[in-house]
Amino acid sequence: MVLLWDWDNTLVDGWIAIAAALNAVFAAHAVPAWTTEETRARVRGSLRDTFPGMFGGRWEAARDLFYRVLAEQHLDHLRPMPGAEEALAAGSRWPQGVVSNKAGAFLRAEVAHLGWAPRFAAVVGAGDAAADKPHAAPILMALQPLGAAAGRSVWYLGDTALDMRAARAAGCTAVLIGDAAHDGGIARAGPDLHFPDANALAAHLRSRAGPAACIEMPHC
């Protein structure tokens, strides 16, 4: 088995910094600000996929401002999601990686800041692959250094319908963590597997870590 994780709202809470950076851009473009909760509910695609539609011909200037503000504070507000460290520890018997729509440089800085870099054989962010989630490209890129092929024994774990779409596009098992209330709910996400929170996932991973689990699933 291989575990590939989404980042924001799956393993970490960094929404305060993301909201602040977005609101700096909105202020420069006379757009009403979003609360942190609104940001959490609305942000899905990568910046390169969403900013051109939001800001038109000015999207590159908006991008530069967003990254400038984000760089100033994203590490200060970064916190693990409840149960995330337990889930990562429970999954440590299998290869693990991260696939996120956060820009690759920021993503890797956050992984390093939390001291989690040794846990992951691959960390793929927005802009690293030819396309971003929900395209399969970043998941397939992450599997290369793990020496694994896409398939049902690869779990992609996330918190949104977009994450589940990315998993299916890559031919992997789509695993939802949480109730996706910020994204239309569980039914809209349509996961293959669902866990109410990271602690429930950690308990499940610990339960399948024995020899019998490997007999049941040859690729684990």
Domain residue spans of the chain: 2-13+79-216, 15-73
What proportion of the chain, given as a percentage, has pLDDT over 90? 85
Residue 60 pLDDT > 60: yes
Residue 161 in contact with residue 186, Cβ under 8 Å? no
**Region at 13 (left for phi over 0; alpha for psi -120 to 50; beta for the rest):** beta
Collect contacts of 109-117 with beta carbons under 8 A, ≥24 apart. 109/74, 109/75, 110/7, 110/12, 110/14, 110/74, 110/75, 110/78, 113/75, 113/78, 114/12, 114/78, 114/80, 116/88
pLDDT at 200: 97
Block residue for tokens 């890129």: 141
CA angle 195, 79, 35 (to 5 degrees): 90
pLDDT digits (tens, 9 = 90+) for 130-140: 999 999 999 99
pLDDT at 166: 98
pLDDT at 41: 85
Residue 19 in contact with residue 112, Cβ under 8 Å? no
Residue 218 identity (one-letter amino acid): P
Burial (CB count <10 Å: 0-12, 13-18, 19+), residue 76: exposed
Round the average pLDDT of the chain to a whole number and report it: 93
Residue 32 in contact with residue 148, Cβ under 8 Å? no
pLDDT digits (tens, 9 = 90+) for 186-218: 999 999 999 999 999 999 999 986 644 443 343
pLDDT digits (tens, 9 = 90+) for 75-101: 998 999 999 999 999 999 999 999 999
Cα dihedral 154/8/115/48 (nearest 10): 90
- Of 10-24, 98-112, 125-139, 200-214, which gets the smallest average pLDDT? 200-214
Residue 192 in contact with residue 163, Cβ under 8 Å? no
Alpha helices, DSSP H, located in 9-158:
15-28, 36-42, 47-55, 59-73, 84-90, 104-113, 137-146
Higher pLDDT, 150 or 219: 150
pLDDT at 14: 82
Q: Length of the chain in residues, anyone?
A: 220
For residue 67, what are its two tokens? 């990254």
CATH architecture of 2-13+79-216: 3-Layer(aba) Sandwich (3.40)
pLDDT at 45: 87
For residue 144, what are its two tokens? 């290369």
